Amino acid sequence: MEDLLAYLHFVVLPQFIDALIIGVALALVALGLTMIFGLLDVINLAHGELYMLGGYAAFTLLGWGAGYWSALVLVPVLVGLVGWTLEELGIRPLLPRADRAIVTLLLTFGVSLIFRDVAQVIWGTETRSVAAPLTGITNFAEVFVPTYRIFVFSAGLLAIAVTWWLVYRTQIGAVLRATAVDPSMVASFGIPIRLVYGFTFLYGCGLAGLAGVLLSPIYAVFPTMGHDFLVMAFAVVIVGGMGSIIGAVVAAILLAQVQGLASLWIPPVWAETLVYGVMLLVLVIRPAGLFNRLGEA
């Protein structure tokens, strides 16, 4: 019995905490993805690259002498602006087309390729590292967690809370939710839909950029980091329900735990494959995911 408790305390709990932190960061990326799909019906395959951009932007700003904290504020704004530009230039012209789902998917795929190579041109192919602003270890219930990670967890949670507040408690959020249900009706109220769409991209990509900054000291920055994270983010969005805010958060935490805890018992690469297996299962049994789309009952 004691052995079991010890096992749970010193093996499982640390992994649980670790996975919780990753889950929160994953939620940030998945949130942006799901909001963009929920409102515009667009599958943004370049989303992973925006996360990557966040990491590289942090690296560059720090290299110019800016403090980490200023980067934390600036980078999401910058990445958000890149996302907004993408929406204005690339996505919006395609929205009226009948085959918009396929076409925007391919467009964002093309953009992701370009971003990836441009990143390699600007920053080279080696892995870059970003110094963590907080060093040291915190003792949390006899489990030693790097202090910075606790910060990442709190920051991520705060961002999620802000997003929830924005979507469900503000006027802007009401407009967002209404647009997800019936854009033409919202437009007939005199609300410029193009701004709504632009804002969605701005905010969603900003969240991805934030995740990029937050995770860069933990995982370092390299050109394919976006791609790997994107597939996971998609698994989250699918399991959680495409277009659902709650779903993205719940599924992110859940799937991160599945991967984290599973890798205690099976090789980590298989734990990742297991997550994709879960995604496939959900797609087959309940393709709409666990939660309903934004705006739906």
Partner 1 sequence: MLQAHQQVQATDIQRRQSGTVAARLLRASRNSSSNSRLLRQIALVSLLLAAIFPLFGGSFFTRLAIEALLFGCIALSVDILLGYAGLLSLGQAAYFGLAAYVAALMYLHVTQSFWLVLLTASASVGVFSFLLGAVAIRAKGVYFALITFSVAEILSKITHNTRAIGGSDGLIGIPVPSIPLLPGLEIEFANNYVFYYLVLGTVCLLYLGTRRMLNTAFGSVLRAIRDNSDRVPYLGYNPFWYKLLAYVMAAQIAAFGGLIYPLLRGFVAPHLFGFEVSTKAVVMSLVGGVGTLIGPLMGSVIITFLESVVGSYTERHLILLGIIFIVFVVFLPDGLCGLAQRTFGAGRKVKP
Residue 276 contacts partner 1 per CB under 8 A: yes
Residues 223-262 close enough to bind partner 1 by CB under 8 A: 231, 234-235, 238, 242
Q: Which is nearer to partner 1, 116 or 175 (CB)?
A: 116
CB of 145 to partner 1, least distance (A): 29
Q: Is 277 in the site for partner 1 (CB under 8 A)?
A: yes
For the segment 181-200, give every residue that binds partner 1 (CB under 8 A): none
Q: How many residues bind partner 1 (CB under 8 A)?
A: 40
Which of 27, 47, 48 shows the shortest CA–CA distance to 240? 27
> Which residue number, 102 or 131, has a Cβ lying nearer to partner 1?
102
State which of residues 50, 83, 86, 112 lies at the interface with partner 1 (CB under 8 A): 112
Nearer to partner 1, 16 or 109 (CB): 109
The binder of partner 1 chosen from 11, 118, 174, 195 (CB under 8 A): 118
Taking the complex as a whole, the smallest distance from the CB of residue 171 to partner 1 amounts, in Å, to 30
Question: Hey, which residues between 6 and 45 contact partner 1 (CB under 8 A)?
Answer: 43
DSSP codes of every residue in the chain: -HHHHHHIIIIIHHHHHHHHHHHHHHHHHHHHHHHHHHHH----TTHHHHHHHHHHHHHHHHHTT--HHHHHHHHHHHHHHHHHHHIIIIIGGGTTSTTHHHHHHHHHHHHHHHHHHHHHHHH-SS-B----S--SEEEETTEEEEHHHHHHHHHHHHHHHHHHHHHHHSHHHHHHHHHHH-HHHHHHTT--HHHHHHHHHHHHHHHHHHHHHHHHHHH-B-TTHHHHHHHHHHHHHHHH-TT-HHHHHHHHHHHHHHHHHHTTTS-HHHHHHHHHHHHHHHHHH-TT-SSPPTT--
What separation in angstroms does the CA of 152 have from each of 47, 155, 156, 190, 247? 20, 5, 6, 40, 21
Check binding of 267 to partner 1 (CB under 8 A): yes
90 belongs to the binding site for partner 1 (CB under 8 A): yes
Least separation, in Å, of the C-beta of 62 and partner 1? 26
Cβ 36 to partner 1 shortest distance, Å: 13
* 147 is a site residue for partner 1 (CB under 8 A): no
Nearest distance from C-beta of residue 238 to partner 1, angstroms: 6
Q: Rounded distance, CA 106 to CA 228, Å?
A: 18
* 153: β partners: none
Among 110, 124, 131, 161, binds partner 1 (CB under 8 A): 110
Note whether 292 binds partner 1 by CB under 8 A.
no
Q: Footprint of partner 1 on this chain (CB under 8 A)?
A: 43, 90, 93-94, 97, 99, 101-103, 105-107, 109-114, 116-118, 120-121, 231, 234-235, 238, 242, 267, 269-270, 272-273, 276-277, 279-280, 283-284, 287
